[in-house]
Amino acid sequence: MTIWQSRFERVSAIERLRMEYMRIKSEMQFDRITWNPNQMNGQPCIRGLRLTVRRVVEAVAQYPNREDLFRNYPELEPDDVQQALAFAARQFGRQCDRKQRRLSDVPAIPMYSRWRSGNV
């Protein structure tokens, strides 16, 4: 693989992420989720801050008490947390759908079908 191919793959991966982000944002208004390829490695962030959606979801898991969460992250607002969780849930659902589609494309194993019919 040449350096140009790896750059092309990197650009196309960033472009795919941008397209996915725009599609999700158009389906449901995530007005607090921003995306910039030059910030935080292109990960979705909260209101342009250097705080990713992933970090907010991890913080919600780490601090089950919301008062502790907002004390440790004073820049967060309740709507930020709600949209970060909704965005993460939507992304997770899409990944599961893609995996399920890929698994359904796999052909049945012939040996199993012969074993099941008793012709082994």
Domains of the chain with bracketed CATH: 3-117 (1.10.10.10)
* Rounded-to-integer distance, Cα 51 and Cα 21, Å: 17
How much is the pTM? 0.60
Q: What is the per-residue pLDDT for 80?
A: 95
The Cβ-side half-sphere exposure at 110, using a 13 Å CA radius, reads: 0
5-25 pLDDT, tens digit per residue, is 565 566 677 777 777 777 765
70-106 pLDDT, tens digit per residue, is 999 999 999 999 999 999 988 887 666 666 666 555 5
